[in-house]
Structure 1
Amino acid sequence: MRLFLVLALVLAGCTWGGGKLAKPDDAANPITGDAIAVTSLDAPAPVPVDVAGAGAGQPDPALADATADPAKPAAPPAPETPAEEVPARVLSAEELACAKSGGQWSVAAKAGGMSCVRVMKDAGKSCRKQSDCEGSCLARSNSCAPIAPLFGCNEILQDNGAMVTLCID
């Protein structure tokens, strides 16, 4: 009974005042703030005016740089201070060998270890056994693997054509 009474009061409160929501006043929106001013990027820049003394509509001489003619070349920028050079990272023997063989030294598998990943030249070529490919022969598609090594578990075809599951992590 109490639940019914509470529900009736909530519904009565929702419909109080004719069941219409109150219109927001013209004040600033509490979420976005004041009204947003929109300016076109293609419009010419406004001319700054010195309100204190130059007269209405007269450009302020102190702000002459802001209204400079864009067709005239600007003064050259100040020379940058030399940035600190980051010392080159020394590559390990494995990384050098990987780069020499055309591979890319990168994070591999779920464990996050580093490995040399190479793109196979015969990727996607049809195959029936591993010797038909530079890398592995994928059993599901009977095609050569796109990269080597293949991380995770993959069904491959061995040299005798037998299908096995190879898991590398």
Structure 2
Amino acid sequence: MKKFMLVLGVLALAGCLPQDDPPGPKSIPAKKAACEAAGGTYAPGGIFSPEYICFTENPDAGKSCRKATDCTDTCLADTRTCNKVSPMFGCYSYLDEKGKKVEICVD
């Protein structure tokens, strides 16, 4: 009976093993290459995050805007222009879809 329980326990734990290798250092060169091929910059994201992400320039960067829908990403409230790079980190003010100023902090 003890052997049966041991085998049953081992089989149950075997089901907890991951199917694929988790993303790690091996996947970084491929992600960086894909990002750069798309015209992006592969760099650490946020202030407290060690994760690397792909930053891309928005096609309407610097364009004048009055509300969120005027930009592909974010209409910055202080300059009333579309933001240059996505994603954005830090604290900033943007204009929502009604043109109302909203403040946010993102990391």
* TM-score band w.r.t. shorter chain: 0.5 to 0.7
Relative contact order (C-alpha < 8 Å, sep 6+): which is higher?
Answer: 2
Which of residues 73, 81, 98 in structure 2 aligns to 1:160?
Answer: 98
- Which residue matches 1:19? none
Map 1:106-125 onto structure 2 (within 5 A): 106-111=43-48, 112-125=50-63
Map 1:133-152 onto structure 2 (within 5 A): 133-152=71-90
Pairing 1:104–2:32 present = no
Separation in structure 2 between the aligned mates of residue 91 and residue 104 of structure 1, nearest angstrom:
16
Cα distance, 1:153 vs. partner? 0.8
Alignment: residue pair count: 81
Greater strand share, 1 or 2? 2
Separation in structure 1 between the aligned mates of residue 97 and residue 41 of structure 2, nearest angstrom:
27
Percent identity of paired positions between Structure 1 and Structure 2: 36
Letter in structure 2 aligned against 1:166: I
TM-score of the two chains, using structure 1 as the length reference: 0.42
Cα distance, 1:101 vs. partner? 3.8
Report the 3-state secondary structure (helix = DSSP H, G, I; strand = E; otherwise coil) of the residue aligned with 1:105: strand
Report the 3-state secondary structure (helix = DSSP H, G, I; strand = E; otherwise coil) of the residue aligned with 2:54: strand
- Which residue matches 2:68? 130
Gaps of 5+ in 2: 1-24
Cα distance, 1:115 vs. partner? 1.8
Using the TM superposition, name which of 159-168 and 125-134 deviates more. 159-168
Letter in structure 2 aligned against 1:159: E
Report the 3-state secondary structure (helix = DSSP H, G, I; strand = E; otherwise coil) of the residue aligned with 1:131: helix
Letter in structure 1 aligned against 2:73: G
4+ runs deviating over 4 angstroms: 92-97
| Root mean square deviation of aligned Cα | 2.3
Gaps of 5+ in 1: 1-88
Greater helix share, 1 or 2? 2
